Structure formats: C-alpha cells, structure tokens
Amino acid sequence: MSATNVPKVLLQLQPPSKSNPLCVPVIGLGTAAVHNDGDTVKAAVIEAIKLGYRHFDTAAQYGSEQALGEAIAEALRVGLIASRDELFITSKLWCCDNHPHLVLPALQNSLRSLKLDYLDLYLIHWPITAKPGMWEMPYSEESLVPFDLKSVWAAMEECHKLGLTKSI
C-alpha cells in the first residue's frame, strides 16, 4: 500500500467548499489502547507512515496525542512525508470538556500535545457531558450533567472559524 493508492472519501462540509475540498483516506490507524505506551504508539505510527497510512485518529482521552505528534515530527525530519498537509489527523473532545467554555481550550491542548497548528477533523467523542475534570470512566450518574449540544456545537464552529480544525 502506498499513500497514492489509498482511496479517499470527500467530506461533505457545511458550508460546502468547492474551492477547498477535504478528503479523508478510508484506511487509517487508531491510537486508542488499553495501556497506551508512548514509545509503542510512536513506533507504530512511523511504521504505518512507511506503509502508506496517512489518516491517524487520536483523542485527549487516549493519552496518545503527544506520541502521535512526535511520530509526525520524526516522519517530517527523516523525509517520510514532505509536509504535515499529507496527513489527515482526527482528534476528539472528551466528555468532561463537553462544555461550551471548555471546547476551545480542549482543542488548543490537543494541538499543543500534537505540536500541530490545526486538525483535519475534530469530533465530539460522546454525546454526553460529565463534570469538568472527570476523566475516568465509567461515569456515575452524579458525574453527568445536561449536554448543551447547541452551545457546544457553536463552540466547535468557532474553532473551525479560527482555522484550528478544517472540519467538525
């Protein structure tokens, strides 16, 4: 497999963009694991890039963003890829950051961990909201609070307008 023959799917952006279409490679590597060892993640991502993978999925909750960022930097340094733009990077907003005022800081933290200027796709990980700072699952009923989808989505749209993510 090489990067040139991995099929891609055109994302249907809102609003549609004919001048700047965004395509996602249909084969990607997820970086979630029960025990996420940064060195293992970094090595796996570098090998995946050598094999032609260009789509990588991560999340703040996985603990793999820093290792993925290090792998991207290494791939650039040794010439496996010519630019970050060759990759499609997805990350996700975790439940305890699923509050309108925490969306932008959460994305900024992910970008810092990844050492990137933007994501290609930023998702709401799960459509539930936990109290801020509650990272561990499973959530007790007392840990959950009402999910303000409209306001969280507006905050996601603001992240897109700021150019921090190409799509949401």
Q: What is the pLDDT of residues 98-128, one digit of tens each?
A: 999 999 999 999 999 999 999 999 999 999 9
How far is Cα of residue 137 from the mean position of the Cα atoms in its chain? 20
Strand partners, 90: 57, 121
- Asked if 153 and 123 touch (Cβ cutoff 8 Å), the reply is no
Point out the catalytic residue in the list 62, 118, 122, 139. 62
Q: Tell me what pLDDT residue 102 has.
A: 98
pLDDT > 70? residue 57: yes
With pLDDT > 70 as the criterion, what percentage of the chain qualifies?
92
Query: How does pLDDT run across 148-160, given as a tens digit for each residue?
Result: 999 999 999 999 9
pLDDT at 133 over 70: yes
Q: Is 84 exposed, middle or buried (0-12, 13-18, 19+ CB in 10 A)?
A: middle
Does the annotation mark 53 as catalytic?
Answer: no
Q: Tell me, what's the pLDDT at 134?
A: 85
pTM, two decimals, is 0.91
* 42, 74 Cβ separation under 8 angstroms: yes
CATH number of 10-162: 3.20.20.100
